[in-house]
Structure 1
Amino acid sequence: MNRHPMTKEGADKLKEELRRLKQEERPRIAEAIAEAREHGDLKENAEYHAAREQQGMIEARIRQIEGILSNAQIIDVTQLNANGKVVFGATVHLLNLDTDEEVVYKIVGDEEADLAHGKISVSSPIARALIGKEEGDEVTVEAPGGNIDYEIVKVEYI
């Protein structure tokens, strides 16, 4: 069984979602199903079928989260002694050498990646190019639209 890296922050977020699904959503759906059953004929009871469908989606998400967490290798970047190197979980400030635009990315596990929030997957081309480099290094990232040259301005472990 392969273990997948995940930040402590990402694991905590999934654990909270799992808690909410099990302790809040499950009982709410069970109550909705019981209430819909009281309305009589289940064949033509749209409320019952909607609640059962929602129950199935919640149970599927619970199984998915449990699977992700059981295969996760949780890494707390604040406990690493990386000495300025870009490692999994690091937050990296980059300067695009062509446009002088600065971007900030946090390198996270595949399940946590969210580009809109600056979180990139450790298996993405940019993360693979950055891993092992240090502040001040220049990195060329092979992107679908062509190569992009960055300078690593700052590496944080937060």
Structure 2
Amino acid sequence: MHENSDSVVDVGNWVNLTGFEPGAEEEKIYIVDDAAAQPAELKVGKSSPLAQALLGKQVGDEFSFQTPAGNVQLTVTATGQP
């Protein structure tokens, strides 16, 4: 666990992201253990490419992520414990 778990993305956190689609609202996802992953409910397994890209990021961090539709620039806007 990180020292400042309220602002650093870790397993068990929810994460708000912007950037999946231009002008779209934030997406809220949950990073969970792989056995609890349910993509339809936006619960992403910790071994997934998106979770791996997010772990350790902080609120305000921007990063590139490759989706099936192409590369997107995502921003972490909030994170916390459920």
Which residue of the partner structure matches residue 5 of structure 2?
Answer: 82
Matching of residue 144 in structure 1 with residue 63 in structure 2: no
1:143 partner amino acid: T
Gaps of 5+ in 1: 1-76
Describe how 1:86-105 pairs up with structure 2 within 5 A: 86-96=9-19, 98-101=21-24, 102-105=26-29
1:140 partner amino acid: S
SS of the aligned residue for 2:15 comes to: strand
Describe how 1:21-60 pairs up with structure 2 within 5 A: none
Aligned-pair Cα RMSD in Å:
2.0
1:95, distance to aligned residue in structure 2 (A)? 0.6
Query: Following the alignment from structure 2 to structure 1, what is the Cα–Cα distance between the partners of residues 58 and 69?
Result: 25
Which residue of the partner structure matches residue 46 of structure 2?
Answer: 122
Larger relative contact order, structure 1 or 2 (CA cutoff 8 Å, min sep 6): 2
Runs of 4+ that moved beyond 6 A: none
TM-score, normalisation: structure 2: 0.84
Q: Deviations over 1:55-89 (max 9, x none)?
A: xxxxxxxxxxxxxxxxxxxxxx8xx8524100011
Question: Greater Rg, structure 1 or structure 2?
Answer: 1
SS of the aligned residue for 1:111 comes to: helix
Query: Following the alignment from structure 1 to structure 2, what is the Cα–Cα distance between the partners of residues 99 and 113?
Result: 26
Higher strand share: 2
Retained in 2: the 8 A contact 1:97–1:151? no
Query: Following the alignment from structure 2 to structure 1, what is the Cα–Cα distance between the partners of residues 63 and 14?
Result: 16
Higher helix share: 1
TM-score, normalisation: structure 1: 0.46
Retained in 2: the 8 A contact 1:98–1:149? no
Counting aligned pairs with the same residue, the percent is 32
Query: Following the alignment from structure 1 to structure 2, what is the Cα–Cα distance between the partners of residues 83 and 155?
Result: 7
Matching of residue 112 in structure 1 with residue 32 in structure 2: no
Which residue of the partner structure matches residue 157 of structure 1?
Answer: 81
